[in-house]
């Protein structure tokens, strides 16, 4: 399956889990060996492979153990903006009763 915005979140998580499983098997790793290499529990690997929710940190650790962490560049590419913004801009509002008087 090619992941697209038309799929539900659960379908996408399931596809990611299947891909993680295939990568693990291509490296001839058991779930226990991947868990040890990623410094996560075997249950975390099981959950991820089933398409269940896991912590983002665990996801990154598993990708690192599978030597896939470099692929995150494609997931969240750098933008053309070099200067880091602290937050999005918003219109400034005046508190009630603080009208401008001319």
Which residues are CB-neighbours of 63 under 8 A, at least 6 positions away? 69, 71, 72
Q: What is the DSSP letter of 71?
A: G
The pLDDT, as a whole number, for residue 54 is 95
CA angle 5, 73, 40 (to 5 degrees): 90
Q: Nearest-5° angle of CA 86, CA 89, CA 91?
A: 145
pLDDT digits (tens, 9 = 90+) for 14-42: 999 999 999 999 999 999 999 999 999 99
Model pLDDT, residue 66: 96
pLDDT for 51-94, tens place per residue? Answer: 999 999 999 999 999 999 988 888 888 877 666 666 776 666 66
Task: Measure the CA–CA gap between 4 and 85, rounded to whole angstroms.
Answer: 29
CATH number of 9-70: 1.10.260.40, 2.60.120.1440, 3.20.20.30, 3.10.20.30? 1.10.260.40
Least reliable range by pLDDT among 29-33, 44-48, 84-88, 98-102: 98-102
What is the pLDDT, as a whole number, of residue 84?
60
């Amino acid at each position: 399956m090619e992941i697209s915005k038309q799929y539900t979140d659960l379908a996408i998580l399931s596809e990611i889990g299947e891909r993680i499983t295939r990568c693990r098997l291509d490296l001839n790793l058991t779930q226990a060996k991947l868990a040890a290499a990623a410094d996560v529990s075997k249950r975390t690997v099981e959950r991820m492979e089933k398409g269940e929710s896991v912590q983002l940190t665990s996801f990154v650790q598993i990708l690192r153990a599978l030597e896939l962490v470099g692929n995150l560049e494609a997931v969240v590419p750098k933008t053309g903006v070099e200067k880091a913004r602290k937050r999005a801009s918003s219109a400034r509002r005046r508190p009630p009763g603080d009208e401008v008087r001319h």
